[in-house]
Structures are given as structure tokens and as C-alpha cells.
Structure 1
């Protein structure tokens, strides 16, 4: 399975559109490897706050999900986090990154962020 990512966390988890996690779970249960394609600059710097490791709270408009006559509330998140343990590798312009490689890129980004 091949998906993209809007962000990659230092632990290898990724933020992508809703549905990515369930696809990764299905692939894992069938023995299908899961790869993510993202540029290296999408790897977040190490040391991010725990609250920064969540998907953006962006939602689809309720009327696109339900346009019936009943009064219902709709929860339709656009993004979700897929855990790193469900991902076999992250393909970047620098090649395929393992979990350790992702951590190294995150550390490099953190060091670059401190540069003055």
C-alpha cells in the first residue's frame, strides 16, 4: 500500500487524510507492506510538544456529510494520525527511511531550527 503524508512525526507516525489508518490496519492484517511518500521537510523536528502530535482539527462541512431533514450532529475529521508501527517505510527524495532514519531527520530539523 502506498499513501502520502501531510506530516511525519519523529516516531514514524504520519498525519494524512481520514481513512489512512484503517487502510494501514487492513493491509497489515493481510500481510501487505505499508509505505508513505513524503518529502523530508514534512518530518517534524524532534522535541515537539505532545499536543503537536495530533492531526489538525479540520473538519468537512456537515452538509457534505449529511443533508437530511433530521437534526443530527456530524463529526467528520479531515485528518488522522496513523501510528508508526503500521508503516514499513517512508519514501523521500533522499530514499527510503526506516524508523531510525526518520528520528535522525527529526533531530537534524530540530538542530536547524535552533540555528541563528
Structure 2
């Protein structure tokens, strides 16, 4: 499905806000420690909940995590070597699919270019 630039921009902003929320919740829980490092060093379970209501379930993997909001919306991302999160079109597609928006962004250079302005220029 071809989305307008405005629709795509709104999705990228929403995804970025959700990623930042997840990062904030991990930071509140772990202070400055990387969640992946905390997991690998045995200080954090690989899976669990980020909130006391147990509506945000996380799973750490490789260099990142996937969080499922309210057993529906998926937010998945990786941290780069500097500790910042990085945009990945496949993980963005997981997000859009989970909220019921069908858009094929995996090979779209336009989406990657637009994402650059939301994920690396803030």
C-alpha cells in the first residue's frame, strides 16, 4: 500500500515516540545501564514487563528488544554501538502491521530517507 508522505510521517513519529517511551522505561528501571548488558550480565530477565499493570511485555534479543503493548502493538528496535537506537525498515513494518496498517517499506529507499529525518536528526 502506498502511503502519502503525511501518513508515513505520522507513522514514523508514532513509532519513534513508542521507541523513546520504551527506552525511558528501561532507563528508569536500570539507570544508565544498557538493558542488553543488564540481561547478559544476569541483572535483568530476558523477558518481563516494563510496567506494573503488565500491559507492556518486553523480550530482549541480540542488540535490541521487542515490546508488545496491550497484547497488540509491537515495537521492536536495536541499539547501535553507541547506545542509540537505530531505524530498521523491517522492524518498522512489524510495527505498522501490528497496528493494522499494511505498507511495504522493506525495500523502499524513500522510507529510509524519510526515516533518517525522524530518527537521526532529533
User: TM-score, normalising length from structure 1?
Assistant: 0.26
Larger-Rg structure: 1
Higher RCO (C-alpha under 8 Å, 6+ residues apart): 1
For normalisation by structure 2, the TM-score amounts to 0.25
